[in-house]
Structure 1
Amino acid sequence: MEEKYQSLEIVEKNPKSGVSYLVLNRPSRRNALSHDFFTDFPKVLYALDDNPQVKVIVLMGAGKHFCSGIDLSILGSTSSAGNSGSGESLRRQIMAMQDAVTALERCRKPVIASIHGACIGGGIDIITACDIRMCTKEAFFSVKEVDLGLAADLGTLQRLPFIVGFANAMELALTARTFSGSEAKELGLVSRTFNSKNDLDEAVRLVAQAIATKSPLAVVGTKMVLLKSRDLAVDQGLDYVATLNASRLLSPDLTEAVMAQKQKRKPLFSKL
């Protein structure tokens, strides 16, 4: 955890809470996503996932914005590489960037996106891979890629339809229009909106800490089942969760949860 990253920072506001804050830390560039980000992001998520003290991760942006998208310097260098090299090389580069975003879903711990200011382009790719999304009413969003002559290629077109519905995702992606935090709530992109950044921070803290009090095994299993079931038929999803719980029901967490309720005390769950 002591490793320093170029565009990211890990903040432990309350080390005993089980909540770690992962901060996009390029405020002077509105947290635009650099080459360093795509290298470091999966490493940081793996480190947090592997840390038994971490139960929930809050992803947020430093400064006035969450994320203004991919740094245009990356697009410039990628375009140059594509003109001078093979299409397969460019494809592999895009897939590596996709993999960095998908690391959010591979992470066993729940990730809450706390969004204020701009959430543009690559920012949408990131939040759609998070497990919970909250924002300020003044936050603004845009699936911006068509304005740059591109189709969004880091996950938005695959994940957004599951979140806001196919028709809404199609309209947002084809128009690249800007929409507010309030509309994001109406669309279902975020679960809650808040009048101020302070209100958002406090609400996210409370939600994260509430999740952190649950059985880590149960929380991880719930995230796994929901993500897996997204790609399965109902009967396949039921079979998957039955297999999962067949092993989880043998864990001491179930016994501890029952005993804690009977004794009217807080449960003491095992760490992952």
Structure 2
Amino acid sequence: MAPSSLHPPSHSDEIQLSFPQEHVLLLTFNRPKALNAVTPTMTSDIKRVLDWFDQEPSLWVLVLTGAGRIFCAGADLVAWNQRQSGGGADSDQSDIINEADGFASLSRRTATSKPIIAAVHGGAYGGGMEIILNCDIVVASEDAKLALPEVKRGVTAIQGGMPRLARIAGHQLASELLLTGKAISATEAATRFGFVNQVVPKDKVLSAALAWAHEINQNSPDSVQSTKRALLLANRHGSVEDAVIAHVGSAESKRAFTSENIQEGLRAFVEKRKPAWKNPAKL
């Protein structure tokens, strides 16, 4: 249930929303019988909800998970086959360029400077893995399998997964996954490939993700969001100096430097007490 002060936008039953702790939105992919394969309806729902989330000052962290057996199986290939058979391939390519937020409005989403945590159980494949590669923290179950199997189906991980994996893991390890399409374990993803933060038993995935959210939310939300903006800009700019200059000029950095929270944080340090953070001002 949403707190009475929050009014999320309407959406279909292909996603579920809840507020498991203060300042946290939990978004659950809710097509368990289809392994949470993403449909156009789901994408529209997620975009509408996340556009609202970005503008809601009292929500500081987003947690993503999936209902049923796995986190997300990626695109609905049955629907994709129907579009391909109907001659829709060219429009799909154009849509990829025009839809700046990427697969499920998540895989290339950079507008939000609020942290996104993935709670992955069972597995993430194709677009589902492209989503988690664009998350800030990834918690995965011990039994989870992770793959970009697009080459096995004659398609490509074109929604941001390829360049992001190459940056995280390096060319050779990224090639290992992308050119073979093979699945790896959550432990391999954490220790060899470097895109999973924590591996836990299946029944602990969501609680572990929420623990990360709680830990993040002990800090100034202005500082956290300014820091995430710096990380996003680091991916966009080739040099450290260019990234620093772009970050200093960002709305998040300017807000953090002039916020009530910077004053509160410094005052709490001097007074040797825990800070009492306030919701950030809208950008």
CA contact (8 A) 2:234 2:243 kept: yes
1:224 aligns to what SS in structure 2? helix
1:270 aligns to what SS in structure 2? coil
Residues 1:30 and 1:90: Cα distance change in structure 2 (over 3 Å): closer
Q: Distance in 2 between matches of 1:120 and 1:140?
A: 8
* Identity over aligned pairs, percent: 30
2:110 aligns to what SS in structure 1? helix
Q: Distance in 1 between matches of 2:112 and 2:247?
A: 19
Deviation at 1:103, TM superposition (A): 5.9
Q: Distance in 1 between matches of 2:204 and 2:106?
A: 27
Q: Distance in 2 between matches of 1:2 and 1:98?
A: 20
Which of 241-250 and 66-75 deviates more? 241-250
Show the counterpart of 1:253. Answer: 261
Does residue 190 of structure 2 align to residue 185 of structure 1? Answer: yes
Deviation at 1:74, TM superposition (A): 2.4
Which of 246-255 and 227-236 deviates more? 246-255
Q: Distance in 2 between matches of 1:149 and 1:86?
A: 13
Deviation at 1:172, TM superposition (A): 0.3
Does residue 102 of structure 2 align to residue 98 of structure 1? Answer: yes
Q: Distance in 1 between matches of 2:137 and 2:124?
A: 15
Does residue 83 of structure 2 align to residue 75 of structure 1? Answer: no
Structure 1: stretches of 5+ with no match in the other structure: none
Task: Write the mapping of 1:48-197 to structure 2, written as runs, cut at 5 A.
Answer: 48-81=53-86, 83=87, 87=90, 89-95=91-97, 96=99, 98=102, 100-102=105-107, 104-186=109-191, 187-194=193-200, 196-197=201-202
Residues 1:101 and 1:74: Cα distance change in structure 2 (over 3 Å): farther
2:267 aligns to what SS in structure 1? helix
2:258 aligns to what SS in structure 1? coil
Partner AA of 1:93 in structure 2: D
Residue 8 (structure 1) aligned to one of 15, 32, 44: 15
CA contact (8 A) 1:101 1:154 kept: no
Partner AA of 1:235 in structure 2: E
Return the structure number with greater helix share: 1
How large is the RMSD of aligned CA atoms in angstroms?
1.9
2:12 aligns to what SS in structure 1? coil
Q: Distance in 1 between matches of 2:58 and 2:261?
A: 17
1:222 aligns to what SS in structure 2? helix
Deviation at 1:102, TM superposition (A): 4.6
CA contact (8 A) 1:35 1:74 kept: no
How many residue pairs align between the two structures? 266
Show the counterpart of 1:29. Answer: 34
Partner AA of 1:8 in structure 2: I
Deviation at 1:6, TM superposition (A): 3.6
Show the counterpart of 1:237. Answer: 243
Q: Distance in 2 between matches of 1:246 and 1:44?
A: 26
Deviation at 1:39, TM superposition (A): 1.7
Q: Distance in 1 between matches of 2:254 and 2:109?
A: 26
Residues 96-134 of structure 1: per-residue CA shift (max 9 Å, x gap):
372623563222211001111021011111111111111
Residue 208 (structure 2) aligned to one of 195, 203, 220: 203
1:64 aligns to what SS in structure 2? coil
Does residue 23 of structure 2 align to residue 18 of structure 1? Answer: yes
